[in-house]
Amino acid sequence: MQVEVTGKVQGVGFRQATVRQATRLSVDGWVRNQGDGSVSALLCGESEAVEAMVSWLRQGPDSARVEGVTVSACAWQDIAGFVQL
């Protein structure tokens, strides 16, 4: 799944917390800041784990203020691990 998170999500440790949570849930993919102040993520893995990750992204870490989450399907990508770009 491709996910875009908007709100106060840059400069608050959002990407680092996302990497930790994805690793806990065994979700593969990446997370990166976007030029418009949002954060994008690619999530690959078991459907239950990916759904749990999307639920977590709707809240984010305590320091963030998530205002919106857009989820869209994407082609499966064989990615090992979860990284911050």
- pLDDT tens per residue, range 20-54: 999 999 999 999 999 999 999 999 999 999 999 99
Chain Cα centroid distance, residue 21: 9
If one counts every other C-beta atom within 10 angstroms of the C-beta of residue 59, the result is: 11
What is the predicted pLDDT for the residue at 68?
97
What proportions of the chain, in percent to the nearest 5, are helix, strand and coil? 25, 35, 40
Q: How would residue 80 be classed by pLDDT, with cut points 50, 70 and 90?
A: confident
> Please, what is the Cα angle at 72 between 9 and 13, to 5 degrees?
15
Mean pLDDT within 2-9: 98
Q: If residue 39 lies in a helix (H) or strand (E), which one and from where to where? A: strand 39-44
Please, what is the average pLDDT of the chain?
94
Task: Reply yes or no on whether the pLDDT at 17 is more than 80.
Answer: yes
Q: How far apart are CA 64 and CA 10, in angstroms?
A: 8
Q: Which residues are catalytic?
A: 15, 33
